[in-house]
Amino acid sequence: MTRCRAMERRAMKRPETLAQMNAALARFATEHGVETGLAYRPDRTDIFISPYSKCGTTWITQIAHGLRSGGDMAFDEITEAVPWLELAHDMGRDVNAPQPYRPKLFKSHLPWGVIPEGGRYIVVLRNPVDAMVSLYRFFDGWMFERGAISLENFAEYYLDRMGREDYWSHASSWWGVRDRDDVLLLAYEHMKRDLAKSVAQVADFMGISDERTRAVAEAQATLVFMKAHGRKFDDHLVRQARDAACGLPPGGEASKVASGQAGAGQAQISAEMRNAYAQKWRETMGAAHGLESYDDVLAALED
């Protein structure tokens, strides 16, 4: 039996086309698992951390967990400390189980209108081109064979994602509720520029005034600290739980901690693709909210 399983693992290959990658992603979370997460009824103090994928989710989760715990790093990987709402059931986690610190925290990538209501919400927005490039780097060598899919082709795929997988619908949903008292909306670029201010905003939202706790959370959210503890932020528990279901061979790389330089993605795609992303923005965030470019988001959140 052991030999058969070893042969099966050797026979498994990572996707080499976008169609194959989509087929793998479709098996990442089960319908029952997602429904179980959506059925959760939050306490009014629960906090859902729900940026779009690769918009700073792990970073802001580390900040919030550091604030509530005083900097407790005694977790194998951060999804152990902060359950991923949509994936918890498929990872053998009970979203209703007690958490060692208050408030309860949940990771998510859900938009407003889908995520369970009744809690509190922290969301980080990021330039969509940078978010796309970051997702490409994250998937390269994990969700598809390294180098098998070009960045330009992935950029086109990202532009056409639909439903809960759509960056623009997600951003629009949260922008529409940004003035609610139970929603904190931040910008990834502002976090990069002034981490201390961002930690203070999260601490204020969470009602944590202790200066030492804030200082510890800030120190543990620096790029240097998180890179030094990279295994705690690399999704290895997620991969262990779901790679086989996706038809992926064991191992692979899916690093979560990167330099994430603001605006760097623009230079990595063609002018034609940059124009397509700008047009998509105007058709979505521009039409719905009068935001003509992502720069308008940054200016509005600066106030």
Rg (CA), the chain: 19
Res. 74 pLDDT band, cuts 50 70 90: very high
Least-confidence region, from 164-168, 179-183, 200-204, 252-256: 252-256
Is there a domain that residue 247 lies in?
no
**Residue 67 CB neighbour total at 10 angstroms:** 27
Q: Are 79 and 237 in contact (CB under 8 A)?
A: yes
pLDDT of residue 255: 58
pLDDT of residue 7: 42
Is there a domain that residue 15 lies in?
no
pLDDT of residue 207: 98
Phi, psi of 26 (to 5 degrees): -65, -20
Is there a domain that residue 202 lies in?
yes
Is there a domain that residue 246 lies in?
no
Res. 286 pLDDT band, cuts 50 70 90: very high
Closest-CA residue to 75 (of 65, 84, 85, 63) = 65
Dihedral angle over CA of 110, 115, 120, 122, nearest 10: 10
Distances (CA, A) of 92 to 86, 95, 241: 12, 10, 8
Distances (CA, A) of 160 to 132, 153, 165: 12, 11, 9
Average pLDDT of the chain, as a whole number = 93
Distances (CA, A) of 187 to 40, 103, 181, 221, 299: 27, 23, 17, 15, 10
Res. 4 pLDDT band, cuts 50 70 90: very low
Strands (DSSP E) found in 126-279 = 183-187
Cβ-based neighbours of 182, under 8 Å, separated by 6 or more: 119, 120, 121
Please indicate whether residue 36 or residue 258 has the higher confidence score (pLDDT): 36
Domain count, the chain: 1
pLDDT of residue 1: 44
Q: What's the average model confidence in pLDDT over 2-30?
A: 79
Least-confidence region, from 37-41, 73-77, 157-161: 157-161
Assess whether pLDDT exceeds 60 at residue 5.
no
Q: Are 140 and 146 in contact (CB under 8 A)?
A: yes
Q: What is the CATH number of the domain that holds 72?
A: 3.40.50.300
Bridge partners for 184 per DSSP: 122
Bridge partners for 183 per DSSP: 121
Is there a domain that residue 171 lies in?
yes
The predicted-structure confidence for 216-267, as pLDDT tens digits, reads as follows 999 999 999 999 999 999 999 999 999 999 999 987 666 556 665 666 778 8
Is there a domain that residue 155 lies in?
yes
**pLDDT > 70: percent of the chain:** 91
The predicted-structure confidence for 93-132, as pLDDT tens digits, reads as follows 999 999 999 999 999 999 999 999 999 999 999 999 999 9
Residue 206 belongs to what domain range? 30-239+253-302
Is there a domain that residue 135 lies in?
yes
